[in-house]
Amino acid sequence: MAKAEAFLKYAETKILHEKWSPDAVIGHCKKDPNWNDKSMVCTKTLYNYIDKGLLAVRNIDLPLKLRLKPKKKHIRINKRIIGKSIDVRPKEVENREVLIDTVIGKKSNDKAILTLTECKTRYELMFLLHAKDSKSVNNALSKLKDIFGDILNNVFKTITADNGIEFSNLKAIFKEYGTEVYYTHPYSSWEKATNERHNGNY
């Protein structure tokens, strides 16, 4: 723990003052060259430290964690990425991409919400869905065509989505506009930390 003291202090600041999740902190530091040679802890260890009261951060400071319902234990199977992997996404698009996700929040009476967060400006679009499935997502995204029309490609140059099955038709939806669609790795929410932080408000 002493070796990673600087990282843990940094994590405390981000979680307490900027409302980052532990996943977002870990993901950000993994991508930041400034942390390449510094000691860090993994996401599970960071959560364990919080659970044991070893940090200034408490579970009550993690609204997402408190709202999650207990899940039954199950064996996790390998999940295939349903489209182009985030690994092949050009580096130059990172500051102009849109991150897309669905979230079920207590404040919305457990309705599913489609969120699109633009990385550079942090501008966010939200659509209430009838269900967390591909049909509902497709219906919501059709509204983007109505809103932006011929300039849709200039606004949405790339989209990085969660690997959920509800996003399986994204490529077909945006193909005519030339918008590239990429998918995060399964079970890797930190790869879209900006979107995850915004989703924490719902």
Q: For position 6, what pLDDT does the model report?
A: 92
Average pLDDT of the chain, as a whole number? 76
pLDDT tens profile 152-171 = 878 888 888 887 888 888 88
Confidence band for 41, pLDDT divided at 50, 70 and 90: very high
- Is 66 a residue whose pLDDT tops 50? no
162 vs 110 pLDDT, higher one: 162
Indicate the domain borders of the chain: 5-67, 86-199
Report how far residue 153's alpha carbon sits from residue 130's, in angstroms, rounded to the nearest whole number.
Answer: 26
Confidence band for 88, pLDDT divided at 50, 70 and 90: low
Confidence band for 85, pLDDT divided at 50, 70 and 90: low
2: its two tokens? 């002493």
Work out the burial of residue 23: count CB atoms within 10 Å of its CB; fewer than 13 is exposed, 13-18 middle, 19 or more buried. Answer: buried
> Would you say the C-alpha torsion 77, 138, 123, 105 has a positive or negative sign?
negative
Q: Hey, what amino acid is at 173?
A: I
Question: Which residues make Cβ contacts (< 8 Å) with residue 45, sequence separation at least 6?
Answer: none
Q: For position 77, what pLDDT does the model report?
A: 47
* CATH top class, domain 86-199: alpha beta
